[in-house]
Structure 1
Amino acid sequence: MKATAPQIRAAMDAPKPETRLYLLHGPDESGAAELTTRLARALGPDAERIDIDGKELRTNPGRLADEAASMSLFGGARLIRVIGADEFTVEAMTLLLSAERAGNPVVAIGPGLKASGKLVKLAIASSSAMAHACYVPEGANAVQLVQMVAREHGLRLMGDVPQRLATACAGDRAILSREIEKLALYLDAAPDRPRDADANAIDEIGADIGEDDMFGAIEAVIDGRVAEIGAELAGIGEGGASAIPLLRSLARRLVTLAELRAEVDAGARVDDVIEKHRIFFKERGSTSRALRRWNAQQLARAIERTRLAERAMMSSASAGEVLAEAECVAIARASARMR
């Protein structure tokens, strides 16, 4: 069946034995990962997870059904996750859905799958499967997502808090979930004891430093001034602030550059684009240099790496600030090589 966002979230939180396959397609890999995490949580902390590369199923399509029917070593639940599902895995999915028994749920993640493709149509047509398209939420959809996740944690978001969270997380559901969880913990909120979350609560847990304080570090990264990165990062660290605001500001700057670069690629002159968007005088020089140095693909990759670094920082047992600093240096070095 084809599942809406509320339907797939409800299904992941309370999986039914008859649902053998959850097919998550579309470009929002963060959203697919967050849904998979919900299912893993519902199966319990002792559930065994089996990861299968989609390419392996091309030559061994029967493995998927075998894994779904197999018992865990200790007799508990199992979760089978297929990474990089594509049209070549149709045979494996067909065998899974037509098998005499399965027993363990399969989550197949296929960012490149098309809604009109055979695999998506197979999942939609089956009563034992759910197909959901994951797209990065934007605008009103992003705000609605923030409010929905907040309600699940017992939070009533007040004033402009939904918009602030949507902007800060830039559609990344993994980061949003972490922020909401942190806010709920701070306010002692839960579904059975809802709490109001206003701007003061966000400010108290955010401890974000102003973008002016990070301007030097961000511009050094984008300009490729590797020798200056250390001093800039040290200056930010002396204030005791987390590196997460730095990564978010860097991501916003890269997104802005990507939008401007799209206009340049469409035929506009760099100077005209800067004038059209009334770029702040303090940033005009660095913006001009960046648009002449970075292409669309490089900007997209830098945005992706920055988001991944933030998610890694928020995971348990991470290297913390070191991850952010290492990523800033890596991006700066990449920029330096573009000269």
Structure 2
Amino acid sequence: MTAVRPGEIEGLLRRGPDPRILLVLVYGPDIGLVADRSARLVKGMTADPDDPFALVKLDGDALASDPGRLVDEAGTIGLFGGSRTIWVRSGSRNYAPAVDALLKADPAGARIVVEAGDLQKSSPLRAVCERSSRALAIPCYPDDARTLTELIENTLREYGLGIDRDARDLLAQSLGADRRASLSEIEKLALYARGRDKVELDDVEAIVSDVGASVLNALIDAAFAGRMAEAEREVRRFRQEGLDPSAMLGAALRHALALLNARLDDPSASASSLVANWRGLHFKRKGLVETQLSRWSPGALRHAAAALQEAVLACRRSDAGLAQAHASAALLRIAGEAARRRG
């Protein structure tokens, strides 16, 4: 199995995989991104959407009970001829034997997309796919600043819209770590700006910078500025609003990396000059961000980013209540560390 490099994924989704590839495994911790990429692959690979036999959807748990069914479905000819697309969605049971039998049988005239979750390297499904030269893997990890920028620009382009740089930067800061939620916000913004050529900063502030975004910014700024009492208050408010803990951690991680990049771009610059050149930063946040830049060193920011990444993984392995606890604890640890750096 060949894993697609991050920079090559969008190109592959547009043109489709090599015809010699029988099966594409889409997996990773970002379930929204897994679902989005699987759906795009299936759409591009299905020859005739009007043929009810051209696309078959199978449940992984059903395949675990009947491993031979996947081979049978792949070998069935469509009603109007041509190739078939089979879309497998994972359940809770191990259906790796069904995939193993398919790859060994190598049926002609079928393309398979397997939509999986966050698979460890030792998982049976990954192991089976990695042994085959006819399997391809698309890993899906939470969006970083670069992929969020691409997502914003590409999605708005589909609606015939451009976007100002300041508006794009603010929008990226407002989005969470889940691709499905991010797409929903971008599409909402596109509908708001319909009939115009470009999305501007006022549009983003009106539509995306809602209660969730304002709570999130207040929490992140309080934490990185070392304002412990404010951070504790905003954590409680975040939980009362019922907001997504992965959004909290994703936004905090992007902010830590933005602080780090600002510091590394011009190590000798003062915090005030770095803030003055920070595009897309809302004027109400500038004072707090200046405090943060004066308090955090590049090494400390790298450590904070690593801790946030660990918290993201812990959240994705936990139920909703425990995920909230992991996210809250991570932000309060950052607030405590920033408070110790007061000077």
Sort the TM-score into its range (normalised by shorter chain). 0.5 to 0.7
Percent identity over the alignment? 26
Question: Would the alpha carbon gap of residues 281 and 4 (structure 1) be closer, same or farther in structure 2, given more than 3 Å must change?
Answer: closer
CA distance in 2, matches of 1:78, 1:69: 9
CA distance in 2, matches of 1:18, 1:298: 41
Partner of 2:105: 99
Contact conserved, 1:64 with 1:96, CA < 8 A, in 2?
Answer: yes
Aligned partner (choices 61, 79, 100) of residue 67 of structure 2:
61
CA deviation after TM superposition for structure 1 residue 157, in Å: 3.5
Contact conserved, 1:51 with 1:82, CA < 8 A, in 2?
Answer: yes
| 2:230 is aligned with 1:279 | yes
For residue 55 of structure 1, give the secondary structure of its aligned residue in structure 2.
helix
CA distance in 2, matches of 1:65, 1:131: 20
Aligned partner (choices 19, 43, 46) of residue 50 of structure 2:
46
One-letter amino acid of the counterpart of residue 27, structure 1 = P
Contact conserved, 1:23 with 1:129, CA < 8 A, in 2?
Answer: yes
CA distance in 2, matches of 1:118, 1:288: 37
| 2:13 is aligned with 1:12 | yes
CA deviation after TM superposition for structure 1 residue 113, in Å: 1.4
Contact conserved, 2:64 with 2:93, CA < 8 A, in 1?
Answer: no
Normalised to the residue count of structure 2, the TM-score between the two structures is 0.54
For residue 3 of structure 2, give the secondary structure of its aligned residue in structure 1.
coil
Partner of 1:322: none
Contact conserved, 2:26 with 2:138, CA < 8 A, in 1?
Answer: yes
CA distance in 1, matches of 2:138, 2:239: 41
CA deviation after TM superposition for structure 1 residue 84, in Å: 1.7
CA deviation after TM superposition for structure 1 residue 250, in Å: 10
CA distance in 1, matches of 2:106, 2:28: 30
| 2:138 is aligned with 1:132 | yes
Partner of 2:30: 28
CA distance in 2, matches of 1:176, 1:183: 11
CA deviation after TM superposition for structure 1 residue 105, in Å: 2.0
CA distance in 1, matches of 2:210, 2:4: 41
CA deviation after TM superposition for structure 1 residue 91, in Å: 1.9
Aligned partner (choices 104, 108, 116) of residue 114 of structure 2:
108
Normalised to the residue count of structure 1, the TM-score between the two structures is 0.55
Question: Would the alpha carbon gap of residues 298 and 118 (structure 1) be closer, same or farther in structure 2, given more than 3 Å must change?
Answer: closer
Task: Report matched runs for 1:67-82 at 5 Å.
Answer: 67-75=73-81, 78-82=84-88
Contact conserved, 2:51 with 2:79, CA < 8 A, in 1?
Answer: no
One-letter amino acid of the counterpart of residue 106, structure 1 = I
CA deviation after TM superposition for structure 1 residue 3, in Å: 0.9
Question: Would the alpha carbon gap of residues 102 and 159 (structure 1) be closer, same or farther in structure 2, given more than 3 Å must change?
Answer: same
Question: Would the alpha carbon gap of residues 169 and 104 (structure 1) be closer, same or farther in structure 2, given more than 3 Å must change?
Answer: farther
| 2:177 is aligned with 1:171 | yes
Q: Which runs of 5+ in 1 are unaligned?
A: 190-194, 212-247, 261-274, 304-339
CA distance in 1, matches of 2:83, 2:153: 32
Contact conserved, 1:86 with 1:110, CA < 8 A, in 2?
Answer: no
CA deviation after TM superposition for structure 1 residue 99, in Å: 1.9
Question: Would the alpha carbon gap of residues 129 and 280 (structure 1) be closer, same or farther in structure 2, given more than 3 Å must change?
Answer: closer
Contact conserved, 1:47 with 1:76, CA < 8 A, in 2?
Answer: no
CA deviation after TM superposition for structure 1 residue 35, in Å: 0.7
Question: Would the alpha carbon gap of residues 158 and 55 (structure 1) be closer, same or farther in structure 2, given more than 3 Å must change?
Answer: same
1:38-81 deviations in Å (ceiling 9; x for gaps): 12332354364433222222231111122122233454664322
CA deviation after TM superposition for structure 1 residue 88, in Å: 2.8
CA distance in 1, matches of 2:118, 2:235: 37
One-letter amino acid of the counterpart of residue 4, structure 1 = R
CA distance in 2, matches of 1:72, 1:137: 37
RMSD: 4.6
For residue 71 of structure 1, give the secondary structure of its aligned residue in structure 2.
coil
One-letter amino acid of the counterpart of residue 25, structure 1 = Y
Contact conserved, 2:60 with 2:91, CA < 8 A, in 1?
Answer: yes
Question: Would the alpha carbon gap of residues 56 and 137 (structure 1) be closer, same or farther in structure 2, given more than 3 Å must change?
Answer: same
CA distance in 2, matches of 1:111, 1:89: 13
Question: Would the alpha carbon gap of residues 14 and 140 (structure 1) be closer, same or farther in structure 2, given more than 3 Å must change?
Answer: closer
CA deviation after TM superposition for structure 1 residue 286, in Å: 5.8
Question: Would the alpha carbon gap of residues 73 and 143 (structure 1) be closer, same or farther in structure 2, given more than 3 Å must change?
Answer: same
Contact conserved, 1:87 with 1:119, CA < 8 A, in 2?
Answer: no
For residue 279 of structure 1, give the secondary structure of its aligned residue in structure 2.
helix
Contact conserved, 1:22 with 1:131, CA < 8 A, in 2?
Answer: yes
CA distance in 1, matches of 2:321, 2:214: 11
Contact conserved, 2:71 with 2:102, CA < 8 A, in 1?
Answer: yes
1:270-303 deviations in Å (ceiling 9; x for gaps): xxxxx9534279868867999xxx9974446789
